[in-house]
Amino acid sequence: MIQRYFIQLSYDGTPFHGWQIQPNAKSIQETLNLALSTITRQKIYVVGCGRTDTGVHATKFFAHFESEEIEIEPVCFRVNRMLPKSIAVQRIFKVAEDTHARFSAISRTYEYKISREKNPFLVERAYELREDLNVDLMNEAGAMLPNFKDFSSFAKASDTKTNLCDLFYARWETNGELLRFEVKANRFLRNMVRAMVGTFVEIGRERISLSQFEEIIEAKDRSSAGYSAPAHGLYLIDIGYPD
């Protein structure tokens, strides 16, 4: 009997060219397919909850796959033994056959880390930016975002049918020399968070005012917003599903 399973994992995106399988490049999806197929002795194809780009990390990522009935605990243990240290599987569990890792998700949460000092332990883990930024102003700008739906100004050109998103919150917080951005929405556009972070940095530098920020959003034009922050500071940290 064919059963659908969810798999929860985390990964360091540094050694990979993103989640999705692509020619002549190492991806998380392909690495996971190989491990699961080898351990279960079945042809396994995992479908992810999203498509993180090259160098982007995930502390909580879900995917689904279908297979003949498996012994979950032994498979989970053996898959972890086979996977590289940069990928860890937390659990595998059964779901209803119509539950989809991507399309059943109702929210995604990302965080972005900026280090304001040279820190050898945050190399490829945070964006090193040794500047004083006006975080209060950045938070005022973040509080404006849920008032909008169309985020075309922060979207890389793609074949997406719509650039409309329900954004729930966007906030910045400081912890010593670490500056952390967290944003939650029902969906995200390609490159959206990195483009937002780059624009927020310009606000923090006081080069973009709040009224100009509003104009940027309303322009619905990527060229009007700030630069894209580096991928290695970005983490997918949560995926929400209905109960």
User: Which residues have C-beta within 8 Å of that of residue 161, sequence separation ≥ 6?
Assistant: none
Task: Using CB atoms within 10 Å of the CB of residue 72, give its burial: 0 to 12 exposed, 13 to 18 middle, 19+ buried.
Answer: middle
Q: Which of 185, 198, 192, 182 is nearest to 230 (CA)?
A: 198
Give the whole-angstrom CA distance, residue 37 versus residue 45: 8
171 DSSP β-pair partners: 182
Catalytic status, residue 132: no
Residue among 53, 136, 159, 166 flagged as catalytic: 53
Give the whole-angstrom CA distance, residue 202 versus residue 226: 7
Q: Which of 24, 47, 50, 22 is nearest to 36 (CA)?
A: 47
Reading phi first (left if > 0) and then psi (alpha if -120 to 50, else beta), residue 162 is in: beta
Where are the strands (E) in 30-130, listed by range?
47-48, 57-68, 87-95, 107-115, 127-128
Question: What distances in angstroms separate CA 66 from CA 7, 53, 235, 239, one per listed residue?
Answer: 11, 25, 27, 20
237 DSSP β-pair partners: none
Residues designated as active site? 53
